[in-house]
Amino acid sequence: MSSHSGPVILITTKVGDAQEARIRAAAPDARILREAELAAKPALVHEIEICYPRLPSALWKKAEKLLWLQSSFAGMDSLLALPEARQHPAVFTNVHIHANCIAEHLWGMALMLTRNLHKSLRAQDSGKWETALVSEGVDTLAGKTLCVAGLGVIGAHCAALGRAFGMRVIGITRHARPDSSADEVVGPEKRREVFARSRIIMLILPDTPDTKCFVDKSELDVMHGACLLNAGRGSSIATDQLVEALRDGRVRGAGLDVTDPEPLPPGHPLWSIPNVIITPHYGGVHPGYDEEAFSVFCSNLERWVNGRPLLNVVDKTAGY
């Protein structure tokens, strides 16, 4: 694994003494490098074997001994967009610590749109009691169908909450294998059929060539007033087509934690459409995030030292 007695680990985030002690507990013989030391002794880049949570882009070609990079994020698109990183033989692992908060975020937006809570808030801001206005078109979830596109760890949690609301759940995955979190699972080629049957549609997709414009005009045309929510990547939806579908009622409302472009520029039409809820890509933020990500790294480091398989290994070809 290394010519050293222990691995050489580059840490590119702030860690305190207690956290460093946890690294040493997992890998007692490790040599821990900080960015300041690497800047002072650039030749050390050739010795790096493990990195957490990022390797500066300029170092990929020089880090020929790098064997494993542990990211502190779930999405790997920005890293894999670097040819030097994608082509590097190092193993990449990510973290799966977003399920609760992103599911809560998506369902918060779904409930707002279903129960017209966004309209009530606007009426409240105006100091108006608008029962007739805000109750028009109010819907319920029980007995309806939820579609979750991207039935991974986060998607499964979204599905469980949907079932708690009394919904039937259909999942969309790259390989349409049965999954206990859904009543039905289909492949991407059947998405239009499923969208036509769904009242709530949640996208939790990575940014890959296969997911770009996953929802375009053909998909929006069959939604028949469904609510569309996205907490994966903005590129999954053809934004211009979504604007039109929202305006003409093909889509009842949209909850977007991600957009394309991102950040959404001032003056963009989505800002002013009343049946849209936009949040600035913070669905995965929660108290203790950094600690949870660091704990995943320490757990994987212990596995590495003991020759056990790493958790959350990324498929570079698939992009996640």
Is 118 tagged catalytic?
no
Catalytic residue selected from 105, 118, 233, 252: 233
pLDDT tens per residue across span 229-256: 999 999 999 999 999 999 999 999 999 9
251 CA to centre of own chain: 23
Q: Which residues pair with 149 in a beta bridge?
A: 172, 203
Give the pLDDT score at 4. 52
Tell me: cis bond preceding 263? Omega within 30 of 0 counts. Answer: yes
Tell me: cis bond preceding 309? Omega within 30 of 0 counts. Answer: no
* Integer Cα distance of 105 and 282 in angstroms: 9
For the domain made up of 99-278, give the CATH fold. Rossmann fold (3.40.50)
Its pTM stands at 0.91
Q: What SS3 state is found at 252? A: strand
Give the pLDDT score at 3. 45
- CATH class of the domain at 8-97+288-305: alpha beta
Is 281 tagged catalytic?
yes
Give the pLDDT score at 103. 98
pLDDT tens per residue across span 171-181: 999 989 999 99
Q: Where in the chain is the domain with CATH 3.40.50.720?
A: 8-97+288-305, 99-278
Catalytic residue selected from 34, 86, 168, 281: 281
Confidence band of 122 (pLDDT split at 50, 70, 90):
very high
User: What DSSP state is assigned to residue 313?
Assistant: B
Give the pLDDT score at 116. 97
